[in-house]
Amino acid sequence: MADKVEAKEVKLTAKDFASDQDVRWCPGCGDYSVLAQVQRSFPDLVGIKKEDIVWVSGIGCSSRFPYYMNTYGFHGIHGRAAAIATGVKLANPKLSVWVATGDGDLLSIGGNHFIHACRKNVDLKILLFNNRIYGLTKGQYSPTSEQGKITKTTPYGSVDYPFRAISLALGSRATFIARTLDRDVKHLQAMIKRAAEHKGLAFVEIYQNCVIYNDGAFDIYTNKETKDDHTLYLQHAKPMLFGKNKEKGIKLDGTKLKVININESDNSINDVLVHDEFDESPLYATLLAFMAENSDLPTPVGVFRQVFRLTYDEGVENQIAHIKAKKGEGDLEKFLFSANTWEVN
């Protein structure tokens, strides 16, 4: 018969992860960048085989994602992606399960499933495409739209308060929490890889520009002229510095954060907070999560917090092993004949 075939490890490229489907987002949509960066970073993932990757989504513009990835996909139900993904993961724990979702899908109708997936630490990677608007239904406000926003359903300005996705994930005990930007491709790739490496629920909020219904929502964080003063790149064990010449820093003042200029005589780099991604206490990450809405402070991007806990599927497996050790392997035959039985003639 045939000779033995030498199976050589072939290095995959971004192309291997692209499906043959036409991508149907609006030209210029930030979703294109997320797709490209996922496809670029996936060949580098260590220990995750392409055939083990599954993309799950709900409903919305970003939820078209599974069609465009050359992996297994699941275009699910509005808001339910986290629950569907939980089912996928528990049925087959060896899979690497990714969720593509938007601010309407995950935080509005899907809020309940999201917080519970976080709480259980299901080993999912959730990418939130946050464009602060409903795109697919053509421009209604979303649960991350800023107060006062004028949209088709808030023609006089919205009155409700938006969710802070990062603090919601923190409050729900997600074990990996990060934020990144569609336009910073390097950073976006780095965050995708970090999420992939994390064991447990990884949540990545991506500020994503919707060119049609909310164009420019995040310009201030990505435009050359403004980004240095408004975006704070978090780096583990590094002082929190920003500004054109990294002259500004974040200082903890009582329980509040404030900006200082380290070149001013009263200040020094030693006054600046040093970022600790692995802090067990969520308090400090919570302070960072609240920065985004404070116009006096820059908006942080990067890993807010990463902690290590048993994942849900590990927990379940451990429990099963424990019960089996105690009660022995289940025996159907024995179970069926364990109580009264009759013979029917």
Contact residues toward ligand SF4 (CB under 6 A) are: 25-26, 29, 31, 61, 131, 135, 210-213
Q: How far is the CB of 308 from another protein (least distance, A)?
A: 32
CB proximity list for 45: less than 8 A, separation 6 or greater: 96, 193, 196, 197
Query: How long a stretch of residues is the chain?
Result: 345
The span from the CA of 75 to the CA of 55, in Å, is: 8
The residue from 152, 258, 322, 324 that contacts another protein (CB under 8 A) is: 152
65 binds another protein (CB under 8 A): no
Q: Which is nearer to ligand SF4, 31 or 184 (CB)?
A: 31
Q: How far is the CB of 202 from ligand SF4 (least distance, A)?
A: 23
79 binds another protein (CB under 8 A): yes
Q: How far is the CB of 62 from ligand SF4 (least distance, A)?
A: 7
Nearest to 305 by CA among 202, 180, 119, 177: 177
Q: How far is the CB of 136 from another protein (least distance, A)?
A: 8
Q: Which is nearer to ligand SF4, 36 or 211 (CB)?
A: 211
Q: Which is nearer to another protein, 87 or 111 (CB)?
A: 111
Q: Which is nearer to ligand SF4, 157 or 216 (CB)?
A: 216
24 binds another protein (CB under 8 A): no
- Cα→Cα distances 52→47, 56, 167, 321, Å: 10, 13, 31, 24
Q: Which helix or strand (DSSP H or E) is residue 230 part of?
A: helix 224-230
Q: Which is nearer to another protein, 99 or 192 (CB)?
A: 99
DSSP per-residue codes, 74-94: EE--TT-HHHHHHHHHHH-TT
Only one of the segments 74-82, 190-198, 206-214, 295-303 lies at the binding site for another protein (rule: CB under 8 A); that segment is 74-82
Q: How far is the CB of 1 from ligand SF4 (least distance, A)?
A: 52
Tokens 């919305």 -> residue: 60
Burial class (CB in 10 A: 0-12, 13-18, 19+), 318: exposed
H helices, E strands: number in the chain? 12, 11
Tokens 């938007």 -> residue: 102
The span from the CA of 163 to the CA of 147, in Å, is: 10
- Cα→Cα distances 147→13, 132, 154, Å: 43, 11, 10
210 binds, among another protein, ligand SF4, none (CB under 5 to 8 A by kind): ligand SF4
111 binds another protein (CB under 8 A): yes
Q: Contact positions toward another protein, by CB under 8 A?
A: 59, 75, 77-79, 108-109, 111, 134, 136-138, 140-141, 143, 152-156
